[in-house]
Amino acid sequence: MYELKRIVISVNLTNLDEEVVRYASVVSHIMDADSVYFVHVADTLDLPEDLAKQYHDVLAPVDETIKHEIQHLIDNYFPHGESTQISIDVLQGKPTDELIRYGKQKDTDLIILGKPESSSTKINLAKVAEISASSVLFVPKNADIKIDKIAVALDFSDHAKMALTQAVKFTKEGEDVTIYGHHVYQIPKGYSKTGKSHEEFSQIMEENAKKESKKFFASNSLQEDVFEMRYQLSEDAKIDDELFGFAQQKDVDLMIIGSRGRTAAASILLGSVAERLLAYQTNIPLFMVKEKNSNMSFLEALLSI
């Protein structure tokens, strides 16, 4: 599993920026980041012609004004003297595509951006989650900067291992961090042909999940007793409802899911489930852990890089 050493923070000049930067400073410290890149993408950096003519001796270039605002946020939340290298870039173009392209150009390990309460954002969050070559962390309004309880979606795959590995890193900052492993299972439609009742087959599925769990923890040299496991039956196939329902029940500070990049065998979590997770109105940050550069051929073709 790669380290999260190169982090991009998307700044959109909204009232959510301060919370995103504050949360990003905590994550950057925990991950001991080497480089943090602040970026804003504007549709245009040109002043209206009338204003440019009338106030040409007074108004600073738009990009310089934006950089000044971002620097003010950095000064408030990123302590001076730390070894992390910080830079600011202001770009022009389509915000979603330029952010994804910028992340690729900087060989980013993690993109952090805000998740606004409305859908009015210029950045397509689901597209960033699906196409970016790195992991993505979405920070909603009123996110708690303390990270004491973490929920990790587990299907016992390699991608679940990546998610769990990242969760463990947060425990380094505090001995009292609790990690909940959450496995959601479903009963196959043809179960009645086995002669078992719905309740009986549900029990069989849960016992099988527990066996898979033990095998998963053992094969990945993880101590199962470090995590609190929850096995949950999903009756309506809406996995996202179960994931966030559990996270809210446990009052967690962060939800982590592992997901594949956009390949021929695209992950369910990068399809409709990811979109529905991002649509939830909650103050729980959502961390989508991806295998770095797993979707590069698709990304390069899409962005024509």
Write out pLDDT tens, residues 97-109: 999 999 999 999 9
- Residue 169's pLDDT is what? 85
- Residue 54's pLDDT is what? 47
- Residue 268's pLDDT is what? 44
Mean pLDDT of all residues in 179-197 = 85
pLDDT at 193 over 60: yes
Mean pLDDT of all residues in 188-209 = 86
**Phi/psi at 57 (5° precision):** -90, -10
- Residue 71's pLDDT is what? 94
Q: 256: pLDDT confidence band, cut at 50, 70 and 90? A: very high
- Residue 47's pLDDT is what? 54
Q: 162: pLDDT confidence band, cut at 50, 70 and 90? A: confident
- Residue 19's pLDDT is what? 95
Mean pLDDT of all residues in 25-46 = 90
Q: Contact 137/80 with Cβ under 8 angstroms?
A: no
